[in-house]
Amino acid sequence: MLPKMLTLLPTFLAYLSLAVGLLAAFLLVYVNVTPYDEIALIRQGNTAAAVSLSGAVLGFAMPIANVIAHSDTLADLAAWGAIAGAVQILTYLLARFTLPHLTEDIPADKVAPAIFLAALSLTVGLTNAACMSY
């Protein structure tokens, strides 16, 4: 069993590296789309920022995990990862349209809109993951 695991280690590392890279790229884009600095807010103890960003990250990670489990190539992972990221950005924009004060509520540490945004991100991420079938 160990020799087989060692032969699969390069593939594991390639998928893991690409997944971490996609996650980093998603976070970079997401925190630049939002008009507030989630990372700084989280460092200050802002629960609303932590909840909303966590929902977005998990909503992005679910389709990524599904693609890793079912795809044959790193190119599939990269392509579906880009789509998953775009869907999460659109989800944020939809929430912002639905809750027009969201851009003030998150920095003000209002948790209710953050929970709604996180739940929406998770729901869309789960649905997105299910749609990425092979």
State the pLDDT at residue 5.
Answer: 79
pLDDT in tens, 51-90: 999 999 999 999 999 999 998 899 999 999 999 999 999 9
Q: Give dist(CA 77, CA 19) in Å, integer.
A: 8
Q: Give dist(CA 89, CA 72) in Å, integer.
A: 26
% of the chain surpassing 90 pLDDT: 90
Q: Give dist(CA 132, CA 61) in Å, integer.
A: 13
Given a cut of 70, is residue 122 above it in pLDDT? yes
State the pLDDT at residue 88.
Answer: 98
In this structure, are residues 46 and 104 in contact, taking their beta carbons and an 8 Å threshold? Answer: no
Q: Give dist(CA 69, CA 40) in Å, integer.
A: 34
Provide mean pLDDT across the span 97-119: 97
End-to-end CA distance of the chain: 28
Given a cut of 90, is residue 99 above it in pLDDT? yes
Given a cut of 80, is residue 134 above it in pLDDT? no
Provide mean pLDDT across the span 9-28: 97
To the nearest 5 percent, what fractions of the chain are helix, strand and coil?
A: 85, 0, 15
State the pLDDT at residue 129.
Answer: 96
Which residues, at least 6 apart from 113, have a Cβ–Cβ distance to it below 8 Å? 48, 52, 99, 101, 102, 105, 106
**In terms of pTM, does the model score above 0.85?**
yes
For the chain, the average pLDDT equals 95
Given a cut of 90, is residue 132 above it in pLDDT? no
